[in-house]
Amino acid sequence: MAAAGAPDGVEEPGMDTEAETVASEAPARPLNCVEAEAAAGAAAQDPCAARGSLQPAPAQPPGDPAAQASVSNGEDAGGGAGRELVDLKIIWNKTKHDVKFPLDSTGSELKQKIHAITGLPPAMQKVMYKGLVPEDKTLREIKVTSGAKIMVVGSTINDVLAVNTPKDAAQQDAKAEENKKEPLCRQKQHRKVLDKGKPEDVMPSVKGGQDRLPNFPLSGMYNKSGGKVRLTFKLEQDQLWIGTKERTEKLPMGSIKNVVSEPIEGHEDYHMMAFQLGPTEASYYWVYWVPTQYVDAIKDTVLGKWQYF
- Domains in the chain, ordered, with CATH? 85-159 (3.10.20.90), 184-303 (2.30.29.30)
Per-residue pLDDT at 78 = 38
* Mean pLDDT for all residues in the chain: 75
Spatial distance between the Cα atoms of 24 and 16, rounded to a whole number of angstroms: 12
Per-residue pLDDT at 187 = 87
Give the residues of the chain that fall short of pLDDT 50.
Answer: 1-7, 9-27, 34, 42-44, 47-54, 57-79, 164-165, 306-309
Per-residue pLDDT at 181 = 63
Per-residue pLDDT at 29 = 55
Give the model confidence (pLDDT) of 213-261 as tens digits: 888 999 999 999 999 999 999 988 889 999 999 999 999 988 999 999 9
Spatial distance between the Cα atoms of 283 and 277, rounded to a whole number of angstroms: 5
Per-residue pLDDT at 180 = 56
Which residues, in sequence order, are CB contacts of 171 under 8 Å at separation 6+? 308, 309
Q: H or E element: which one contains 16?
A: helix 15-25
DSSP 153-175: E---HHHHHTS-HHHHHHHHHHH
Q: What angle do CA 237, 140, 85 make, to 5 degrees?
A: 85
8 Å CB contact between 198 and 264: no
pTM flag (> 0.75): no
Per-residue pLDDT at 186 = 84
Phi/psi region, residue 264 (left: phi>0; alpha: psi -120 to 50; beta: rest), is: beta
